[in-house]
Amino acid sequence: MGKAKIKTLLRKNFVSGGSAAEIMTAEEAVSLIKDGDSIAIATFFSAGVALDLIDALVLRGTKRLKIFSNDTGLPGESTGKLIESGQVDSLTVSFIATNPEAEKLVTQGKLKVNLIPQGTLIEKFRATGSGIGGFYTPTGVGTEVEKGKEKKIINGKEYIFEEAFFPKPKFAFIKAWMADKKGNLIFRGAARNFNPAVAQAAEITIVEAENIVETGEIAPDEVMLPFNYVDILVQSSGRKVRPWEFKPRGYRAIGSTKEKIARRVAKELENGDVVNLGIGIPTLVANYIPKDVTVNLQAEPGVLGIGPRPQEGFEDPDIIDAGGNPITVLDGGAFFDSSLSFSMIRGGHIDKTVLGALQVDEKGNLANYLIPGKRAPGIGGGMDLAANAKRVIIATEHTTPDGQPKIVKKCSLPLTAKGAVNLIITELAVIKVTRRGLVLKEIAPGKTVKEVQALTEPRLIIAKNLKKMDV
């Protein structure tokens, strides 16, 4: 594409607000991006990611890019390709552990990263696109996230102030299932996630669409994002990635210990609960929900009403949970975007969340996103869930792989949330967090109180009606 045509395109779409999107190839679209530009890329593992645009940008070799995205992609895929090719100068992300190469670079201090809680990140995109300067949120209070930020008590609760993105990202890469030639968009399944908010936040939005149809073929009540947020359309090759086939660094196969924990956690769920399950052991809980209990499982990409894992061969890359696992959706379930998903979480519409832990202490403080100098998996949605769910249940092995207690007197790792934990369930015990301290409610068959206490740093208060764990 010549410079004259690019200038004409810029005048048409970004000055006068043209009535139709420009249809281009991926190569033509990424030619607009220069060294040092900022790009917001909608990502959630690989669901709803503009893979063709990223591939074209990698081939073009544009350098010193400032990337805004939910995660760092998968090894050799999505934003991971840009990171591994050395084209990224800085990252503004929520989650890193999807890509071992990115995590290594961050841990070694070789990649600049601004780590933001997932709910705060999606809200920053939304605020940027809505002309809102910022917002107050309880997420991050009492953690590293609050450093240097204004704090305010509102209605008796502590909040921190988060600014929108200034300047806003120059470009956005988003993925749609269908677009008409005017630029109206439809998304499919959990692939909607960050796409609408990212499109709204950027100066120039480039859409990779699986299907491009004539204007009018999408009915007005089917439009999920209207045309005036869209500048350029690119026909997608339809290539998709199956994130569940990638195993991250440190991956350990599911064993009887983890299954035992998940089985006991499932007994805490009650009819009608809206429940969010975190990554790792918490994800397994869905397999053990009693048949006479009906719960509504929610996941951050924008899913409510998660059903069982699909049969092998029937997995859909657009329908995944927060861990990138293939799922089904039950009758009466719903898909929505990540902005609404985190509105549910922050607004108190999640009854229970089950999260993993690196450490949890006797005050109910939780650390589960960072081991300085060793691991930097990222915050993800855990900080929002821990701060805002009505009840927080920790599902974790009782000790680290080298035998050190995970239940400690005081967390030494950076906090995910302060005083948020209600219940801790391990393979050895069920422990309730109270104002008096940690109360040992149940103990694993074949174990003694002395054995459990020896692997637990703070003193345990023994319940008068101490029971054997039923797993």
Indicate which residues carry an active-site annotation. 300
Q: Say if residues 277 and 255 touch (Cβ distance below 8 Å).
A: no
**Residue 83 · residue 52 · CB < 8 Å:** no
- Reduced to 3 states, what is the DSSP secondary structure of residue 222? helix
Nearest-5° Cα angle at 197, 277 to 207: 115
Distances (CA, A) of 384 to 190, 269, 408, 417, 421: 19, 20, 23, 9, 13
Q: How far apart are CA 60 and CA 30, in angstroms?
A: 8
Classify the phi-psi angles of 4: left when phi > 0, otherwise alpha if psi is within -120 to 50, otherwise beta: alpha
Structure tokens at 320: 């995944």
**Token representation of residue 394:** 């920790």
Provide the residue type at 142 as one letter. G
* Rounded distance between C-alpha atoms, residue 141 and residue 409, angstroms: 20
CA torsion 81-83-87-89 (nearest 10°) is 160
Closest CA to 283 of 273, 275, 272: 275
> Which tokens sit at 83?
């990171």
Residue 346 burial class via C-beta count within 10 angstroms: exposed 0-12, middle 13-18, buried 19 and up:
buried
Residues 6 or more apart from 152 whose CB is under 8 A from it?
Answer: 136, 158, 159, 160, 161
